[in-house]
Structure formats: structure tokens, C-alpha cells
Amino acid sequence: MKYKILVVDDEPVIRQLVTKHLEKRGHAVFTASDGVEAMALVQREKPHLVLLDIRMPNMDGIEFLQQVRKISQDILVIVLTAYDDLRLQTMRLGSNDYITKPFHLDYLDDRIRSILASKAPFLHTEP
């Protein structure tokens, strides 16, 4: 299935690497360099899944997660961060998973597949 995935990270290399990888798997991928830009994309594109960095300028991942949960409980969120100390906080705020950087793209695929499979009956996708 084709899913809409939003990659939010202030590091251009991470955004490009993950985007290219996910597009090869047939997903529609959007990117943002901070939470402010990401919120605009959430409103416009209505992604199924957000891959979210925590430490970013303008609006960090914690604030973004709080804002996105006010909009929707249905948007899946996987936190991707180099900081393992925020796992509990992000899970309490509604993230669906937490992956620490650096990570292997195969591991990311496995986590995405698992989370999307658990929610697939509830997501509206394009054929």
C-alpha cells in the first residue's frame, strides 16, 4: 500500500536519505526541517505517519507532537532522535514508537511496517 509519510528533521542529510529510501518503497514522502513547517504539511497533506526528530529550531519535536495530538489521534508518529532520555516523555505524549539515531534503514522499515500494519484497517490510503 502507498502511505503518506512526513519526515521532520533539521538535518538535510537525514531527510534526503530517509526520503529516498521510503520513495523506493512506493510511499509519498513530504519533508520539513522544523515543527512549524511540519504543522503546515500535516494540515495540507494529512500524512498517515510522521517520522519526527526532537531537537529542532523554531518548534521542537515535543511541541510538534503535542500540537499534532490536538489535531488528530490517528496520525502515527515515530520519533527518530539521538537522545534516548526523552523516550518516556514522547510515548506519554502519544508517539507510537521511538528509534534512536543512528539507525539502520532496514530496522526503520521493520518498525514502519509493524506500526502501519497494526493501524492499516483504520487508515485511508491510495491504491
pTM: 0.90
Is pLDDT above 80 for 121?
no
Q: Are 65 and 52 in contact (CB under 8 A)?
A: yes
Q: Which residue has the cell 503518506?
A: 4
Condensed to tens digits (0 to 9), the pLDDT of residues 61-111 reads 999 999 999 999 899 999 998 888 888 888 898 999 999 999 999 999 999
If you average pLDDT over residues 6-28, what whole number do you get?
A: 96
pLDDT at 120: 63
Cα-to-chain-centroid distance, residue 18: 11
| 31 assigned to some structural domain | yes
Q: Are 112 and 78 in contact (CB under 8 A)?
A: yes
How many structural domains does the chain have? 1
| 123 assigned to some structural domain | no
* Spatial CB neighbours of 85, under 8 Å, sequence gap ≥ 6: none
Question: Residue 50 is part of which domain span?
Answer: 4-117
Q: What is the average pLDDT score of the chain?
A: 90
If you average pLDDT over residues 32-47, what whole number do you get?
A: 96
